[in-house]
């Protein structure tokens, strides 16, 4: 069974731009969660989607948004990028909301 995939793996943007990251969950998993990882803050929860509905949201500004499609693939979007948005963005999928399986991440650098 293929694991969680994320695209692109690396991204360089400049301040003020917007970016879209994609996550394909393990086949059959309907729950997708997104996390931001930085050296200072560690791993922080962004949002969770289940069956195309946002189920939970972390404490991030409205510039961070996401969605989930009918095939369970998910995208997250960050608008008006700031230097502090530079991070590793990880998504995880789950079938029962129990064990979470993570993808390789997208490394975003904002210049």
Which positions lie near other proteins, rule CB under 8 A? 4, 6, 31, 33, 35, 42-43, 45, 48, 55-58, 88, 90, 92, 94, 97-105, 107
Q: Which of 78, 105 has the CB closer to other proteins? A: 105
Q: How many CB atoms lie within 10 A of CB 73?
A: 15
Q: Which of 24, 94 has the CB closer to other proteins? A: 94
- Nearest in space to 25 (alpha carbons), one of 86, 99, 108, 77: 99
| DSSP type of residue 63 | T
Smallest separation, CB 16 to other proteins (Å): 26
Smallest separation, CB 69 to other proteins (Å): 19
Q: How many CB atoms lie within 10 A of CB 52?
A: 13
In whole angstroms, how far apart are CA 16 and each of 78, 81, 93, 101?
10, 5, 30, 32
Q: Which of 43, 83 has the CB closer to other proteins? A: 43
Contact 56, 36 (CB under 8 A): no
Smallest separation, CB 46 to other proteins (Å): 10
Q: Which of 67, 107 has the CB closer to other proteins? A: 107
Smallest separation, CB 64 to other proteins (Å): 15
């Amino acid at each position: 069974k293929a694991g969680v995939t994320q695209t692109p793996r690396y991204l360089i943007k400049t301040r003020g731009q917007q970016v879209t990251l994609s996550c394909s969950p393990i086949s059959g998993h309907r729950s997708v969660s997104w996390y931001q990882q930085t050296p200072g803050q560690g791993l922080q929860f962004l949002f969770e989607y289940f069956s195309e509905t946002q189920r939970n949201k972390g404490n991030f500004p409205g510039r961070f948004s996401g969605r989930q499609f009918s095939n369970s693939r998910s995208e997250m979007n960050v608008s008006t990028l700031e230097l502090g948005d530079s991070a590793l963005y990880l998504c995880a999928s789950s079938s029962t909301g129990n064990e979470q399986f993570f993808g390789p991440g997208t490394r975003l650098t904002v210049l």
